[in-house]
Copies of this chain bind each other. A is one copy, B any other.
């Protein structure tokens, strides 16, 4: 049996995306790689899972790496990878590199991060990587050494129970990146605007658009780090309990009036 770590790779932009190809190239230098990724883009899928329809897997061959194309969501890919494909539990699950930012509140909508969180729920150390550039032809070269260093740190140190990592790269040349900064999630959000149009038959429809608004000026946030030339690294948890609210809620009266 191999001594190398077993690494499950997935993403949400689909198995042919340049970002996941970069991630595979880096992971090959660290361990044995198996890829289970969506057969089509799944951006904005959040933590969706497929429970009302069937899932398909197709083995695809690519430079001697074991790869599977899956009809499901990123979270489905991780579940299928762990339960159906891998012969043992992976030592690491990595997701990305996403074409586009998953900093701040975007973590909630992110298929990339949902894959990492799904692995984390299973107790597998996991990292989601994203580049702040939505272009399909984005340049991922400056991400590689950091992806490798962060993955090696996770394999060496492990992660705290119930946490995964959310890593975002600024869209800069490598020489302009100042290093990795451990951050908290900025308290930012989207101000949606719906672009209302009419189809050729006179019926209204909408496109979801909007602008990202960050009113959080903290210098310990992921948004600050990215705007100031750092790779942002946020530890994320999936126990969503707001423990600080429990005491106050215990004072409420729920008896019928």
Residues of chain A whose beta carbon lies under 8 Å from any beta carbon of chain B: 41, 43-52, 54-57, 75-76, 79-80, 82-84, 105, 107-109, 114, 117, 121-122, 145-146, 149-150, 153, 157, 159-160, 162-163, 179-180, 182, 184-185, 187, 189, 192-194, 196-197, 203-208, 233-246, 248-250, 252-257
Contacts and interface: CB of A to CB of B under 8 A. Distances in A.
Given A54-B206, A241-B234, A256 B149 contact: yes
Given A160-B242, A194-B80, A241-B236, A48 B45 contact: yes
A50 B44 contact: yes
Given A45-B46, A55-B206, A184-B241, 15 more contacts: A44-B51, A44-B52, A46-B75, A47-B108, A51-B208, A79-B192, A79-B208, A83-B192, A146-B254, A149-B254, A153-B252, A160-B245, A162-B187, A233-B249, A237-B242
Contacts of A49: 44, 46, 109, 208
Q: Which 4 A-B pairs have the closest CB atoms?
A: A46-B47, A235-B245, A237-B242, A235-B242
Contacts of A109: 47-49, 75
Contacts of A44: 48-52
Q: List the number of copies, as a whole number.
A: 2
Contacts of A160: 242, 244-245, 248
12 contacts: A56-B206, A75-B109, A79-B192, A83-B194, A84-B196, A121-B189, A149-B257, A182-B246, A184-B246, A185-B239, A237-B240, A240-B240
B108 A117 contact: yes
A56 B203 CA distance: 9
A70 to B, nearest CB: 9
Nearest to A105: B121
A216 to B, nearest CB: 10
Contacts of A76: 208
A182 B54 CA distance: 37
B243 A55 contact: no
Nearest to A207: B54
Contacts of A159: 245
B48 A242 contact: no
Given A235-B241, A246-B182, A46 B114 contact: yes
B252 A157 contact: yes
